[in-house]
Structure 1
Amino acid sequence: MLTSVLLATAPTPLEWTPTVGIIMIIANIIAIAYGKFTIEYPSVEPAAPSPRFFGGFGLPAILATTAFGHILGAGIILGLHNIGRI
């Protein structure tokens, strides 16, 4: 009895769509732009394979900004899914 009630209240799963991918890309771009202006030492060693390609960021800055971008993107995607927009 309790299991059927819990399963009935479970939300529908979120399917991956190009919209979800675009939201994640935009969230990462925003996070990288935010990091570009707020990280005090963005080019700390170890260096990225091609620093020019990564905006002069070192590996720690790249990992930090993309991790923040994924957290931001997941929150946006889940929030939009919760209110029924995607």
Structure 2
Amino acid sequence: MIYLSLLAAVPPTPEWSPKIAIVMILCNILAIAIGKLTIKYPSADPQLPSPQMFGGMGLPALLATTSFGHLLGVGAILGLTNAGAL
């Protein structure tokens, strides 16, 4: 049996603030650094307009690392919010 009150339980989500933006930016930078070190072919085609800005990474590697960075950022933001740090 599913309880309706359990279905209505939603964790608190914070409103946007500069602290939240900094956490997301740091998580994306961390993910790009991890991706740069671990992706087998980081400079695969198609290339970015200025690939040296991202350390020679191609578009697929950049999309993959920033997607991973956003997943890390969401987890970090929700975790820090529930811990009371944000």
Q: TM-score, normalised by structure 1?
A: 0.86
CA distance, structure 2, for counterparts of residue 42 and residue 9 of structure 1: 41
| Stretches of structure 1 lacking an aligned partner (at least 5 in a row) | none
Provide closer, same or farther for how the CA distance between residues 9 and 39 of structure 1 changes in structure 2, counting only shifts above 3 A.
closer
- Counterpart of 2:54 in 1: which secondary structure? coil
Q: Which residue of 2 aligns with 1:72?
A: 72
Secondary structure at the aligned position of 1:30 is classed as helix
Deviating beyond 2 angstroms after TM superposition, the runs of 4 or more aligned structure 1 residues are: 8-13
Partner Cα distance (1:10, 1:62) in 2? 32
The gaps in structure 2 that reach 5 residues or longer are: none
Measured in 2, the distance between the counterparts of 1:58 and 1:68 equals: 16
In structure 2, give the amino acid aligned to 1:14. Answer: P
Q: TM-score scaled to structure 2, two decimals?
A: 0.86
Task: Tell me the C-alpha RMSD between the 2 structures.
Answer: 1.9
Size of the alignment, in residue pairs?
84
Q: Which residue of 2 aligns with 1:63?
A: 63
Aligned residue in 1 for 2:23: 23
